[in-house]
Amino acid sequence: MSSLLLDEIALATARLAEAGVDSPRADAELIAAHVHNVKRGELHTVPDAEFDARYWEGIARRANREPLQHITGQAFFRYLELDVGPGVFVPRPETEVMTGWVIDRLREMDVASPIAVDLGTGSGAIALSIAQEVPRATVHAVEADPLARGWAERNITGHVDSYTAGRVLLHAGDFTGDLAGLDGLEELAGTVDVVVSNPPYIPVGSIVPPEVGEYDPPAALWSGEDGMTAVRAVERVARRLLRPDGFVAVEHGAQQGAEVYWVFPEESGWRDTRNHKDLAGRDRFVTARSAGT
C-alpha cells in the first residue's frame, strides 16, 4: 500500500472508531477500495499520485453512520454482489445462514423442479441465492414496497444469465394480507416446496443503531409491539402455499426464539418445528414442516 494511502486509512480508521463504527479499519479500507476502483487486497497498488481526495467524503458519510453499503452501492450475500441503496433493506450476514439451510433442504428434496417463495424479498438476496445454488428451482419473490421492488428488479435483471433466466419471478404484494392479495401467487396454493422470509421483526419503540433506524426502510424493521406481527403473517401465508411436507423458514430477533417457536404449533398443521442459531450462537430463525392440513 502506498505510504500516503496507508496514512490516510490510519487517520480514517481513528475517525470512524471515534464515531462508534463497529469495524473502523475494515470500513476505511473498503471505502478506499471503492473510491480508487480496486479490490481491498489491491490497495497497495494505488500510487501516491493517484490518491483520490473524495475518499474523505466517503469517510465523512460513514462517520455520520450512513451504512457502508450505501456509500459503496454494493452488498455481498453468499456468492452474490448486489446493488443496494436508499429504499431497500441491506442484507445481513445472519440471513445467509438461514438461506443456506433452505438451499440444503431444496437440494435434498426428490423434486425435479422445486418451487420456493421468498416473502418480503427486499434486494432479492435470498431469492437470487436460491436460484443460483439450486438447479431448476423457480423462486417467486414477493415485495410490497415499490422502492425496494425496484432494487430487487435491478438485481434480478443484473444476475440473469443462461443458467438463471426465468427462474426468479418478482411479484408485487403485501404478504401481511390474505393470499388473494399476492399478485399471481394464489394459484400456487398447496404446491410450494419452501417458503422463506426475513420479515420485519423489531418491536416498535426499540432502540436500534443509526445505520438501521435512519437508513433501512421502516417497513422492513418494525412489526408491532412484540415484533411478531409479520412473522404471524408469514405463518398464515405459508400454511396456504406449502404442499404436504413442505418447509417454512423465518428469520427473527435473537430474543424471540421461544416465542416464534409457538407461532408454528401442531394444531395449526405444523410439525418438526425447530429453532436454529446464527454464527454467533444466537437464536436466529425457525423452521417447520407442513403436515398438509
Task: Identify the bridge partners of residue 142 per DSSP, sorted by sequence position.
Answer: 119, 171
Contact between 156 and 204 under an 8 Å Cβ cutoff? The reply is no
CA-to-CA distance for 22 and 135, rounded, in angstroms?
Answer: 37
pLDDT given for residue 162 in this prediction: 53
CA-to-CA distance for 264 and 288, rounded, in angstroms?
Answer: 7
What's CA 271's distance to the chain center, in Å?
A: 26
pLDDT given for residue 277 in this prediction: 94
pLDDT given for residue 7 in this prediction: 87
Question: Which residue, among 281, 221, 279, 234, has the nearest Cα to 100 in the 3D structure?
Answer: 279
- At residue 116, the 3 state secondary structure works out as strand
pLDDT given for residue 176 in this prediction: 79
Give backbone dihedrals phi and psi of 70, rounded to 5 degrees, phi first.
-75, -30
Q: Residue 197 pLDDT more than 60?
A: yes
pLDDT digits over 136-186, tens only?
Answer: 999 999 999 999 999 999 999 987 675 566 799 999 988 877 665 676 788
CA-to-CA distance for 136 and 156, rounded, in angstroms?
Answer: 16
CA atoms within a 13 Å half-sphere pointing along the CA-CB vector of 162: 0
- Domains in the chain: boundaries: 3-64, 77-290
Would you state the cell numbers that stand for residue 80, as one nine-digit string? Answer: 452474490
Question: Which residue, among 191, 156, 188, 160, has the nearest Cα to 170 in the 3D structure?
Answer: 156
Q: Residue 3 pLDDT more than 60?
A: yes
CA-to-CA distance for 165 and 136, rounded, in angstroms?
Answer: 10
Contacts by 205-211 with C-beta closer than 8 Å and gap 24+? 209/65, 210/65, 211/65, 211/66, 211/67
CA-to-CA distance for 168 and 165, rounded, in angstroms?
Answer: 8
The fraction of the chain above a pLDDT of 90, given in percent, is 79
Q: Hey, what amino acid is at 133?
A: E
Give backbone dihedrals phi and psi of 262, rounded to 5 degrees, phi first.
-85, 0
Would you state the cell numbers that stand for residue 23, as one nine-digit string? Answer: 469495524
- Fold (topology level) of 77-290: Rossmann fold (3.40.50)
pLDDT digits over 96-138, tens only?
Answer: 999 999 999 999 998 999 999 999 999 999 999 999 999 899 9
Contact between 88 and 273 under an 8 Å Cβ cutoff? The reply is no
pLDDT digits over 224-270, tens only?
Answer: 999 999 999 999 999 999 999 999 999 999 999 899 999 999 999 99
**Whole-number average pLDDT of the chain:** 92
CA-to-CA distance for 126 and 140, rounded, in angstroms?
Answer: 11
Strands (DSSP E) found in the chain? 74-77, 80-83, 115-119, 138-143, 168-172, 192-197, 242-251, 270-277, 283-290
Give backbone dihedrals phi and psi of 73, rounded to 5 degrees, phi first.
80, 10
